[in-house]
Structure formats: structure tokens, C-alpha cells
Structure 1
Amino acid sequence: MQKPFEAYQQNAVLTASPGELTLMLYNGCLKFLNHAKKAVQDKNIEAKHTNLSKAQNIISELIVTLNFDYPISKDMRKLYDYMNRRLVEANIKNDIAIISEVEGLITEFRDTWKEALIIYRKKQYSSSGLV
């Protein structure tokens, strides 16, 4: 039997819009980057590698979701590729500064995405005639 929180998490993912799923990916990536930094500090090589790999997997998923009908997607792809390369380097060098650099980039992407979702929802709400 599933624990209530696990059931809630699964339901949240299954009912989320594509925009909300992207936001969840960014937040998950940030969580794993934070765990990786702590693992480096604790000299826990296995946990560092696991969490950096999870962050890289999320970045790879973000690449897959890009819509290349929009020119900005090509630039985003380059930044995601850069972040993945930096995380490989951080993994090899046990470098918290590199992880923090990627964390800063992901935070900017997440905050921008969050703001775009708010604007989109306001537009949808106002166009529905409910305002």
C-alpha cells in the first residue's frame, strides 16, 4: 500500500499541466543539486554522483521537451548542454562552485518559467470572461 504522501505526489504529476510539469522538473533539478552539494561537503562520493546524475537526467528531459518551432529553443538547448557538461565536470572534480553555477542557471530558468505560467494563467482567466 502506498504511503499517503507518495500517492499525493503521483496524483500531482498525473494531473499537472505541461507547464506545471516543467516547473516540477526545474524544482526537482534544484533539489538534486542541493543534495549533491551536501554530498560533496560530506565526502559522500556515491550520493554526489547519484544526485548529479539525477539532475543531468532532468536537464536531458528538459531538452526533449523543447519546442524547436521557436527560435529561443535553440539557445535554451545550448544552455542545457552547457549545464550538463558542467555537471560532468563537477562530478569529476567534486566542485561545489560548478554545482552552484548550474544551480543559479536553473533557478533563473525556473523563476522565468514560473512568471510565464502566472502571466499565461492571468490571460486565460481574463479571456474566459470570468473577470
Structure 2
Amino acid sequence: MYSPGHAGASAYARVGLQTGVTGASPHRLIVMLYQGARQAVAQARMHLQQGNVEARGIAIGKAISIVETGLQQALNKEAGGEIAERLDALYTYMTHRLLEANLRQDERLLVEVDGLLATLEEAWIGIGPEVAQAAAANAAAHAI
């Protein structure tokens, strides 16, 4: 069913992904979650346009899983305070909109969620240098 070359490429891709995740900082992992959720939403839109109901449902389920078990569960509400609480509410809202998009077959809702994810991803990427500086300062303080 698969050519030997395809199996090798697939294994290489899996190793590359695992290496990327294993070596990634917590900040980078969140960026990867945003990117994965957005990719799943894009796939859901494509499948919606093509009328592929099963694949659309799978893609939306993947996006929901990333939002709920990746982004939402990663929140530290004690340390994050009001910002973490608001993100938690926004992630819940996105999950509901994704479910509604699937039920109503409404691409506008998928576009809405993608826009929210894009805004958060951009903001998260924007704080990257600040996070790196703080991590370096923390490491230097503990090295003494």
C-alpha cells in the first residue's frame, strides 16, 4: 500500500516532530499548539468546502482537542491571574464555536476561531524575546 520511500519520509517526519517538541521551550510549545490548532481549523474549512463530513469532523475534533487539552490545560490560573482566567473563558468560547461550526456546517465560525487563534499566536510570538530574556536572567541567577 505504501512505497518504502513513503515509509521512510513518514518516519523522518515523526522523528522531526518529536525532536521539535522535545527540544522546544515552554514558550515554543505554546506557539506550536496555536499553529496546530490553526492548521486543523484550515483543514476543517477545506473539508467543509469539499463536503467531506467525516474529515471535517475529525479536523474540528483535533482543533478542539488542541484548544482544550493543550492550551486550556496549560494555563496556570494562580500565576496568570486575570489574564489566565480570560484566556480560559476565550478557549471555552472557541470550543463552543468549533462545535457549532461543525453542527451548522458554518465556515464563518471556523474563520472566527482561526482569527482568534491567529491574534493569540501573534501576541505570544511577540513576547518571545521578553520570555527568552527572563529565562536567561533566571538561569544566570541560579548559576551563581
- Per the TM superposition, whether the score is higher than 0.5 is yes
> Can you list the C-alpha shifts for 1:107-129, whole angstroms capped at 9, x where unaligned?
0010101111122224556886x
> Can you list the C-alpha shifts for 1:61-91, whole angstroms capped at 9, x where unaligned?
2110001122211111111000000001000
Q: Which amino acid aligns with 2:108?
A: A
Q: What's 1:83 paired with?
A: 94
Q: Which moved more, 1:11-20 or 1:51-60?
A: 11-20
Q: What's 2:44 paired with?
A: 36
Q: Which amino acid aligns with 2:110?
A: I
Q: Number of residue pairs matched?
A: 128
Q: What's 2:120 paired with?
A: 109
- Residue 49 (1) aligns with residue 54 (2): no
CA distance in 2, matches of 1:81, 1:21: 20
What TM-score results when the alignment is normalised by the length of structure 2? 0.82
Q: Which amino acid aligns with 2:18?
A: Q
Q: What's 1:100 paired with?
A: 111
Q: What's 2:19 paired with?
A: 11
Compared CA separation, residues 67 and 123, structure 1 to 2 (3 A) = closer
Query: In the alignment, which of 76, 81, 84 is matched to residue 67 of structure 1?
Result: 76
Q: Which amino acid aligns with 1:43?
A: G
In the alignment, structure 1 segments of 5+ residues that lack a partner are none
SS of equivalent to 1:76: helix
In the alignment, structure 2 segments of 5+ residues that lack a partner are 1-7
Does the 8 A contact of 2:37 with 2:66 survive in 1? Answer: yes
CA distance in 2, matches of 1:22, 1:124: 16
Q: Report deviation, 1:14.
A: 1.1
- Residue 24 (1) aligns with residue 32 (2): yes
4+ long deviations beyond 4 Å? 122-128
Rg (Cα) greater in structure: 2
Q: Which moved more, 1:70-79 or 1:26-35?
A: 70-79
Q: Which amino acid aligns with 1:90?
A: A
